[in-house]
Amino acid sequence: MTDTDPARRYKEITSGMSDAVEDMRLRDAALARALEDRLVELQEQMEAAADAELHTLIGVELQWETALTELYHEQWMTMRTLPKQDPAVPPGRLDYLYDVTIQRFEALMEALRQRPPLGRR
């Protein structure tokens, strides 16, 4: 047999292809594991965000109800229901808006603490 034997050449070529396929399979398996890990991380982040949203909504509702209760005797003031969420607000601003809500609530409570007792205005 010579170096140009077709059977030998075929075996060399197919052997190289098999090695390449095995390398691709190992890389794909590693990539699949990495993507699965990332998916788990993202799912955990989504669950945490949903929990944070729920806590924020409950907190805002409690602040609103407290404010309404504190202002109940202010006959001149028109009381309204809690405004609906604005879907146009970008999600990145929600923490800022929640902080502003807390600041405004605390300012209202401080103003109510400083008001004169009923009957002495």
Token output for 117:
């007792």
> Number of folded domains in the chain?
1
Q: Does residue 121 lie within any of the structural domains?
A: no
d(C-alpha 115, C-alpha 121), whole Å: 9
Please give the structure tokens belonging to residue 43: 């799912």
Phi and psi at residue 52, in whole multiples of 5°?
-65, -40
DSSP 8-state secondary structure symbol assigned to residue 71: T
pLDDT tens digits in sequence order for the chain, 121 residues long: 556 788 888 888 888 898 899 999 999 999 999 999 999 999 999 999 889 888 888 988 899 999 888 888 877 878 778 888 778 877 777 788 888 889 999 999 998 888 877 654 4
In a domain, 12, yes or no: yes
Between CA 93 and CA 41 the distance in angstroms is 23
- 114/121 Cα distance (integer angstroms): 12
In-domain check, residue 21 = yes
pTM: 0.61
Which domain covers residue 91, as residue numbers?
6-114
